[in-house]
Structure 1
Amino acid sequence: MLIVLLMIGFIAAAAAWFLVARRRPTVQAPHAPGAEVHAKTAPVSLADELSELAALRDKGVLSHQEFEAEKAKLLSANS
């Protein structure tokens, strides 16, 4: 039973890390001396993020409570 709980905790932590890692911008090296460094991020829509959360919930990676908590964070951050 303890192993199952540890595995569920690990999976939830991995899912949370994945969601956070997707939001970090990547920085490219300058092409020439004095060139500006621009952060390059792919625009991710709220609908895409909610769909991803729902998929993780449907796969059993996130519990219903974890899904609802993450959904509330996304909705409050985008309002």
Structure 2
Amino acid sequence: MKTGQDIRWQRAQELLQENALDIATMAACLGQDETKLQAMLSAQPSRKIPDALAEQMEQTFCKPRGWLSQSDDGGISFDLFGA
């Protein structure tokens, strides 16, 4: 079973892919430290994505509140570009 952090990590990976971003560019978009974001979003993350950053990512990338913490169960998609 996936933990909340596993789901957040997976959703953050989706944001990177659908916006064609690398971690450095996402860090710049969010005004975050690249090293800290790398520690959260790398293949083997050493840090958790905190609530405040999750909310900031949702706002920045036009996702509904709580999206980063919800598993993709095949339900409604909130992708604005229909990918």
TM-score (norm 2): 0.29
In our comparison, the structure showing a higher alpha carbon Rg is: 1
Query: Which structure shows the higher helix fraction?
Result: 1
Higher RCO structure, 1 or 2 (CA under 8 Å, sep 6+):
2
